[in-house]
Chains A and B, each alone.
Chain A
Amino acid sequence: MMFLQVVLTGVLVGSVYSLVAVGLTLVWGLMDIINFAHGDMMMISMYTVFWLYTLLKFDPFVSLPISAGITALLGIVIYKLVIKRVVNAPGLMALLATFGLSLFIRNFAQFLWTPNYRFVGESILSGKRILIADIVIGLPQLIAALGSILMTLLIALFIKRTKTGKAIQATAQSRDIAELMGVNTEKVYAVTFALSGICVGVAGTLLSGIFPVYPEAGAMYGLLAFVIVALGGFGNIWGAFYAGILIGLTEALGGFYLGTQFKYALAFLIYLLVLQFRPKGLFGW
């Protein structure tokens, strides 16, 4: 029973990781840019939900389109102002830029909203849970997990089925060829950043009921997302999805049976082990 509960927890936690990672893998796979500010975009989404809740009494689920919209916009702004200028820069310059950006966003949040830890107190879901025999499933977690899966599915469909999605795929394969075929790659990049923003926007909203809102809230999620994206294979949406679940499970099972202090170390270890057998990630070729 306990085992099942632990596995379930791992899957629920992992599916939220997945969504954060899916947003990151889009950008990473397409532009070969490590976005250090990814977790911080999520933090902005959490604050959006928090303020809509505090000032206007919006339920987080009502705020979802707004917060996702704001992070999508933020993604575009980040692309237009910063990423565009460094996307062709040599070496690790793009990384430097996003790192600076992350530092800026975090401290800007502290400047505007103080460093206090805040919570979205009440939502229609808070405190609700499902009991199956001895197994507890928190409704906010369940919704967060389902929302993540749905969102991943939508993104995957978007990439596969729509014209813009195909343009994104083409650009990821080869920017030059895509341009020759008449793809406006700048637009594709901007759209990808917006998509990435929507992912973290939704993830932040879903998390705001169960995770404190504070300027550093995105830090650990951002770090884990790096590992998950690499574990799944850069640019691979479903790879990121399954890798997220795998990391969630590792964290839960490893944490439960070996000691909770090791849970992130174990996630990193899984990455190293898997990459010994699949040097380009679980789903990378």
Chain B
Amino acid sequence: MNEIMKNRMLYLIFAIILILPFVLQDVNFQHITIMFLIFAGLGEGWNIITGFTGQTSFGHAAFFGIGAYTSTIMFYKFGISPWIGMILGALFAAGISAVVSYPCFRLKGHYFAIATLAVAEIIKQLFVSWDYVEGATGISIPVKPDSFWMMQFHKSKIPYFLIAYVLFIVATLVAVAVEKNKMGYYLKAIRESHEAAEALGINTTRYKLYAMMISSAVTAVFGTLYAQYILYIDPFMVFGLDISMKIVLLTVLGGLGSVYGPIIGAAILIPLSEYTRVFLGGTGKGIDLMIYGALIVIVACFEPRGVLGLFRRTKKRGAQYAKTTA
């Protein structure tokens, strides 16, 4: 019963998001909604390896970038549809993540986190120096007439929104599916105690690997969409620490280890950063980022369980109140 209730909440969120850009036709608002969906989806993916499994990754930009570059190269060099690139990118990202994280899984805690950061920085440098993918120059994706198959839409942002929306729902449902099944319990057991998990018969390395592969595949899918949406990529933009940290921040802000966390976090952080920049960024004094930084600090200090913690607390308080009055 409880599970159905919870999912109902999720469907309500999905429904609300769907109507947003149709109600508010402002193009900047639509853009923010798309970025929100992309980053909420990225957060869902990252949450699987870090929130559920407890293996902190500071290097998810690596998989984001692989997704962005796979589809872009295929489209740019061979005219292959980004949809195919998206699938291949996800497969590549899963494969590469398995290869690079397998040796890293021996590392615990922060040692692992720094290792993921190192892997992402190395991959970034490889792409910067790789002439075949145009290196540091980056790639401007050629503008083609509107086409679903080529994932290009110039008349309206709605198609991009719808694609982002569908991918976001897929990512969220993947996270839900992982969480509610055997795998989710296993991952959480690994997070809570490696040894206890082993003693319960869980092949921790294998499950961490699964989690990493699913997580990076989800991340790569959004990388492809991002590249197609911005129509330009370079290694600094898609492999940068900024992307990795943004994913970390919004999920932690929303609430780590919950399907709702990334949605709440992205719903706060993305509009906040966009609107502070829009209203204050033109001054050239850095006021927007000052406010943005200060707000993050304030949330962290006063709501250390994430914004989701706040919801849970008020809910509990409400329940207690109901009890006492009844």
Asked if A and B touch directly (CB within 8 angstroms), the answer is: yes
Known A-B contacts A111-B287, A230-B111, A279-B108; the reply to A94 vs B257 at CB < 8 A is no
| CB pair B289 A106 closer than 8 Å | yes
Whether a CB of chain A sits under 8 angstroms from the CB of B201 is no
Pick out which of these stretches binds chain A: B139-147, B222-230, B247-255, B313-321.
B247-255
Question: A96: which of B122, B125, B126, B296 is its contact (CB, 8 Å)?
Answer: B296
| CB pair B125 A89 closer than 8 Å | no
Whether a CB of chain A sits under 8 angstroms from the CB of B293 is yes
Question: B118: which of A259, A272, A280 is its contact (CB, 8 Å)?
Answer: A272
Question: B286: which of A28, A110, A271, A280 is its contact (CB, 8 Å)?
Answer: A110
Whether a CB of chain B sits under 8 angstroms from the CB of A118 is no
Which A residue's beta carbon lies closest to that of B302? A85
Which B residue's beta carbon lies closest to that of A231? B114
Chain B residues 106-121 with CB under 8 Å of chain A are 106-108, 110-111, 113-115, 117-119, 121
Question: B300: which of A89, A280, A281 is its contact (CB, 8 Å)?
Answer: A89
Interface size on B, residues (CB 8 A): 49
Which A residue's beta carbon lies closest to that of B129? A261
| CB pair A264 B115 closer than 8 Å | no
CA of A275 to CA of B277, assembled, Å: 40
Question: A100: which of B241, B296, B302 is its contact (CB, 8 Å)?
Answer: B296
| CB pair B304 A262 closer than 8 Å | no
| CB pair B249 A261 closer than 8 Å | no
Q: How far is the CB of A101 from chain B (nearest CB, A)?
A: 5
Whether a CB of chain B sits under 8 angstroms from the CB of A56 is no
Question: What chain B residues lie within 8 Å of A275 (beta carbons)?
Answer: 104, 107, 111, 115
| CB pair A281 B111 closer than 8 Å | yes
Whether a CB of chain A sits under 8 angstroms from the CB of B20 is no
Q: How far is the CB of A188 from chain B (nearest CB, A)?
A: 20
Whether a CB of chain A sits under 8 angstroms from the CB of B13 is no
Q: How far is the CB of B48 from chain A (nearest CB, A)?
A: 15
| CB pair B128 A279 closer than 8 Å | no
| CB pair B290 A104 closer than 8 Å | yes
Which B residue's beta carbon lies closest to that of A284? B111
Please list the residues of chain A having a beta carbon within 8 angstroms of any beta carbon in chain B. 28, 32, 34, 81-82, 85-86, 88-97, 99-108, 110-111, 115, 215, 223, 226-227, 230, 234, 259, 261-262, 264-265, 268-269, 271-272, 275-276, 279-281
Instruction: Name 20 interchain pairs, CB-CB below 8 A, sorted by A.
Output: A82-B301, A89-B304, A91-B306, A92-B252, A96-B249, A96-B300, A100-B292, A100-B297, A100-B300, A101-B297, A103-B293, A104-B289, A104-B290, A107-B293, A108-B290, A261-B128, A268-B121, A272-B118, A272-B119, A275-B111
Extra 15 A-B pairs, beta carbons < 8 Å, given A93-B300, A279-B111, A281-B111:
A92-B252, A96-B296, A97-B297, A99-B245, A100-B294, A102-B293, A103-B292, A103-B296, A104-B294, A105-B293, A110-B285, A227-B114, A234-B110, A279-B106, A279-B107
